[in-house]
Chains A and B, each alone.
Chain A
């Protein structure tokens, strides 16, 4: 079956612009996670969805970051007024409950 997909794979934007990153989880996976990984660094947790609700948004670094999930499936991470420090790889993962996570290929965001 299909794995987790993310789009775009690469995004280059100018400082101050808004960007939307999309994640399509594995069908039937109720849990969806967003992470950020800067070059050579570990995974930074951003937000977790169980179904369409986000019980834990504690990792969002600022109010410029928001995310939503519709139909218990696709999720969009939006970054408003991007800054250079937002440059990173944004990873999405899905799982059945609290089980093992399956990661998408990531979106590499570069803010000029």
Chain B
């Protein structure tokens, strides 16, 4: 069973701080990784994707991928209360097109 694992949290950070969300995966063949944000009662929305080792920045968000260590992380700089949500990590595993989703990490940004 190819897995994508996340700490369920909640991760609580003060407004303005950097939130660091981590995800590990078991399939060494995984090539692409996606981060989704899901507000309570809403459906997931894509915020970042990364295919190559290293960092990818988009505004306040940075995705980091380390294939040797099999982890991918999402950093949120200058966290805002509006960033409070569940963050889902996903990757197609086992040679499949179908992404395997982690269970998500709940982030709480308090004023």
Which A residues have a C-beta under 8 Å from some C-beta of B? 31, 33, 41-43, 45, 48, 50, 56, 91, 97-106
Contacts and interface: CB of A to CB of B under 8 A. Distances in A.
Contacts, number: 43
B52 to A, nearest CB: 15
B88 A56 contact: no
Interface residues of B, number: 21
A98 B92 contact: yes
Nearest to A35: B101
24 contacts: A41-B103, A42-B88, A43-B44, A43-B88, A43-B101, A45-B101, A56-B96, A56-B98, A91-B43, A91-B44, A97-B97, A98-B32, A98-B92, A98-B97, A100-B46, A100-B49, A101-B46, A101-B99, A102-B46, A103-B36, A103-B45, A105-B42, A105-B43, A106-B43
A102 B34 CA distance: 12
Interface of B: 32, 34, 36, 42-46, 49, 88, 90, 92, 96-104
